Amino acid sequence: MRFGTLQGVMAFSLALASCGTAALPAEDRPAAAGEQPFKIAEVARFDTPWAMTFLGGPLALVSEKDGRLWVVNVDDGSKTAVSGVPQVKVAGQGGLGDVVFGPGRQRRVYLSFVEAGPDGTSGAAVGYGQLVATAAPGAKLSYSLQDFKIVWRQAPKVTGAGHFSHRIAFGPDGAMYVSSGDRQKGAPAQATDGNLGKVLRLTPEGQPFPGNPWAAKGGVEAQYFSTGHRNVLGLAIAPDGRLWQHEMGPQGGDEVNLIVGGRNYGWPTVSNGSEYGGKDIPDHSTRPEFEAPKVWWNPSISPAGLIVYTGNLFPQWKGDLLLGALSGESLIRVDVNGDKASKAERWNMGARIREVEQGPKGEVYLLEDGGRLLRLTPAWEAKGRGGARRAAPNSLGLLRAAGVAALAAQRVQQREAENAGRGVAGGRVLFHEIANLADALADAARQLVGGAILLQLAVAGNVAEAGLEITLGARAFASERVDVHPSSPYVGGLAA
């Protein structure tokens, strides 16, 4: 953006005010060329990545299906192996699965994994250990998982190597939700002699959570929170405490569900998909006693990984679901409004997306089955004068940029006295004018700024060659620091 006068700044602001928000479509809207709202950076590579969770700051844990666990620094891509991981059975869809940081001050690391049983059987398990970092003189930190304890097991162990599910999510009350797949058997999802095909609500020690819907039944049924599930590869708790889940259907019929305690979600009796080979399965609409999905897909997308986005880098996604697609090779957004959900946007990623995770600054991370860890940040960045054309921002991106200008103007006003003796005759007046605009944009700046947004300003008159390149990152915004990099000696030294 180039402004020669205050009128130009005000015209920009009025244009922002006229921008509306488009209604969400009824179906996934594949992004057209140039509409992708994020840029992609490769952070690190793995062999068989499966799940990810942040420890704090730039450090994250990444699990690999083949049994390895890593501490990864997402700032520089370095990774360190974690010792003490339990032995896992790697076959088919099974191996090391989810990794989640436990609640409270005990700082436990929870893992799900597949363990071998007798006579060629296997089943998922969940356990926890303490992540310990050790510093040896002259060496980098080493990490180990100590005092590992198994707290839950799938029952019964069965043959086959699919539909373990074994995703973990902790609720605000400390409850541990675990998805237990049907192991490609179907019928166990409706049976009550085991915990296959269920979403379970447990204590952090793996016991039935007090007040569970089937608590009075005792035994394994006391673990149940909901029944009638197939292969649940995504669990996420919203800020309002609601539990969202997605699961793979058979041939078509992949679902997003709002999980309500005590409800039966119908598998294998009903599905909006068909059996492999085309045999029909009654749709959900034919059996209203079963809880119907909020969203479903035909043909299949094979959903994997799920978050409720709560960051500020992508404010237009706040409160919505982000999920990966394996066969669909996409990142998908599902719009959420209370207990309702609808399809929103779908971005082709050209690879099977196994995991979705939110970073500490609001950035989004994806794990591909092919091995790459990717970071997504807003695409609304200029490339600099004379460089490539900057991505066209949407209305929210423009409003964010205006917010950056307002914050920058405040810093400029604070430093104006330092510039008075530099002979910047025309610039000083324009700085005043931009600073006066700050009040009108301050609220928008506080609410919507947060991300790496590059806004280029150039002033007219005697300082036409000046210009300010202002980069405001999430970390800078959190500390209320704006970095101003001068492109002219006339306006140097403005960094706060």
- Which active-site residues does the annotation give? 163
Q: What distance in Å separates the CA atoms of residue 275 and residue 267, rounded to the nearest whole number?
A: 12
Q: Classify residue 213 as left (phi > 0), alpha (psi -120 to 50) or beta.
A: alpha
CA distances (Å), origin 459, targets 12, 259, 265, 411: 15, 55, 61, 16
End-to-end CA distance of the chain: give it in Å, rounded. Answer: 22
Distance CA 448, CA 169 (A): 29
Evaluate whether 184 touches 163 at the Cβ level (below 8 Å): yes
Which alpha helices (DSSP H) does 312-394 contain, by range? Answer: none
Site of tokens 């180990």: 144
Burial of 487 (0-12, 13-18, 19+ CB in 10 A): middle
∠ CA 143-144-149 to the nearest 5 degrees? Answer: 150
Phi, psi of 418 (to 5 degrees): -70, -25
Amino acid at the residue 481: R
CA distance 360 to 340: 27
Q: Which residues pair with 332 in a beta bridge?
A: 323, 346
Percent of residues in the chain assigned helix, strand, coil, to nearest 5: 20, 35, 45
Q: The tokens of 102 are what? A: 């436990």
What the block records as the tokens of 493 is: 């030294």
The answer for residues whose C-beta is within 8 angstroms of residue 279's C-beta and 6 or more apart is none
| Other residues' Cβ atoms within 10 Å of the Cβ of residue 316 | 17
